[in-house]
Amino acid sequence: MISMRYVSRILSVFLVLIGTAITQANVQHEATAVVRSANLGHAKVGLYALDLQTGEVFIRLNPNDPLIPASNMKLLTSASALSELGPDFLFKTRLRLTKPDAKSGIPSLILQGDGDPSLGDPTLLEQHKLDVDQLIQQWVTVVKKTGITDFEKLIVDDRIFDREFVHTAWPQEQLNRWYCAQVAGINFHDNCLDVYPRPTRSGLAPILRISPESPFLRLSNRAVSGTTDSFWISRRLGTNEMTFRGVVKYPRSSPEHVTFHDPPNYLGQLLQHNLAKAGITVHHLYRPPMDEILPQAKDLHIVQTAIGVVLNRCNKDSQNLFAEALFKRSGREMTGVPGSWETGRAAMRIFLRGRLGSAAATVEIDDGSGMSRNNKVSPKAIVDLLVS
């Protein structure tokens, strides 16, 4: 993959030349020279640039070769999602209340997801002058207003998507990193914990501030305070057993991120914990099978997120979770079955055939964010899609 430094150089050449009397030949020559001087080894680069008004092509370098798009894949995912879901689409996460159970006489709560990747996103919360604790407290408050303090179950309904949280092509050794966050029908806080270490005396364990506060997780602090700064976090795959490691020299103002496992269950535990602190008992969490019909319920609270907000975070900040949620949600919308990487691929194939015609057959689709190295798309296909 070509580095952003060389992309910037190519763009600089192009911008300088469009202010002069340019020809296709001199832009092509300058762009090719930048690529050749980049010392990219065996990496293969493709470039394609045209004038939208005249259709004149200025740069053509391996334009039809299917290459690994990396985060350029988000452009295809975003276009497909906009087409499938529509520009006015709203993600809706609902907290609902059932009638009392016929046997126990106790009602239940339902947390019903819609695949919203932005629920509890720290960046978006900050824009609304909120933090994650305040968001959780909104739910606690509406439950308290019912006057009910005893609930049979918190039903965590994440069935808008399948329960394959991790793509098989993603690098196993990086699944604890924020950019490999799991993808679920209920997502929360970017599906990551934020950890802020602060050193104490040399050789002693640092103090850790964790957001969201999650005392129900199995956390082990093996880090020490010292004269170097090498703090990191490991998580045992398939669990939420996390170990803090390394050395902390300075207090962190920016967090270290670590993904958590099974986001719907995590949020269920977090809500159950905060309800308990408010004197409200939830006897157990429940994950319904895919084919179970849930009891009738009324909405207590709805969190709505416009698709434009999700698209902005997906593309401006290159948030993989947001792209994958759009990918799966498009699949759900098209097929009516739980969104998955399979249904997302099907939705994108149909969309690309409608926009690119037979050229869509050259595009290889594996995931929505570009984390998978099995995606392949040519520079010309990307440009043709954007032009369309």
pLDDT tens readout for residues 170-209: 999 999 999 999 999 999 999 999 999 999 999 999 999 9
Residue 225 belongs to some domain of the structure: no
* Angstrom distance (rounded) from CA 93 to CA 305: 9
Residue-wise pLDDT tens digits, 81-139: 999 999 999 999 999 999 999 899 999 999 999 999 999 999 999 999 999 999 999 99
Q: How confident is the model at residue 30 (pLDDT cuts 50, 70, 90)?
A: confident
With 0-12 CB in 10 A as exposed, 13-18 as middle and 19+ as buried, what is 258?
buried
* Total domains, the chain: 1
Residue 321 sits at the vertex; the CA angle it makes with 129 and 348, to the nearest 5 degrees, is 130
Q: Does any domain span residue 48?
A: yes
**Alpha carbons 246 and 225: distance in angstroms, whole number:** 9
Residue with tokens 């309800």: 275
- pLDDT bin (cut points 50, 70, 90) of residue 28 is confident
Whether pTM exceeds 0.85: yes
Residue 245 lies in a domain: no
Q: How far apart are CA 191 and CA 321, in angstroms?
A: 8
Does residue 5 carry a pLDDT above 60? no
Residue 52 lies in a domain: yes
Tokens 């969490």 appear where?
285
What mean pLDDT is predicted for residues 356-372?
97
Rounded CA-CA distance 195/223 in Å is: 12
Q: Is residue 255 part of a domain?
A: no
Please answer whether residues 235 and 220 qualify as being in contact, where contact means their C-beta atoms are separated by less than 8 angstroms: no
d(CA 106, CA 295) in angstroms, rounded, equals 13
CA–CA gap between residue 178 and residue 321 (Å, rounded): 9
- Residue 8 belongs to some domain of the structure: yes
| HEC-encoded secondary structure of the chain | CCCHHHHHHHHHHHHHHHCCCCCHHHHHHHHHHHHHCCCCCCCCCCEEEECCCCCCEEEEECCCCCECCHHHHHHHHHHHHHHHHCCCCEEEEEEEEECCCCCCCCCCEEEECCCCCCCCCHHHHHHCCCCHHHHHHHHHHHHHHCCCCEEEEEEEECCCECCCCCCCCCCHHHCCCHHHCCCCCCCCHHHEEEEEEECCCCCCCCEEEEECCCCCCEEEECCEECCCCCCEEEECCCCCEEEEECEECCCCCCCEEEECCCHHHHHHHHHHHHHHHCCCEEEEEECCCCCCCCCCEEEEEEEEEEHHHHHHHHHHCCCHHHHHHHHHHHHHHHHCCCECHHHHHHHHHHHHHHHHHHHHHHCECCCCCCCCCCCEECHHHHHHHHHC
Residues whose CB falls within 8 Å of the CB of residue 209, separated by 6 or more in sequence, listed in order: 195, 196, 198
Let me know: does 77 contact 370? Beta carbons within 8 Å. Answer: no
Residue partners of 156: CB distance under 8 A and separation at least 6:
111, 186, 264, 265, 267, 268, 285, 286, 287
Q: Would you say 244 and 223 are in contact if contact means Cβ atoms under 8 Å apart?
A: yes
Distance CA 141, CA 139 (A): 5
In-domain check, residue 187: no
183 domain residue, yes or no = no
The mean predicted confidence, pLDDT, of the chain is 93
Q: How far is residue 350 CA from its own chain's centroid?
A: 23
Q: Which domain holds residue 37?
A: 1-63
pLDDT at residue 347 in the model: 98
From CA 240, how far away is CA 262, in angstroms rounded? 8
Instruction: Write down the pLDDT at residue 10.
Output: 46
Q: What type of residue sits at position 230? A: S
pLDDT at 64 over 50: yes
Average the pLDDT over 323-348 and give the result: 98
d(CA 85, CA 326): 9
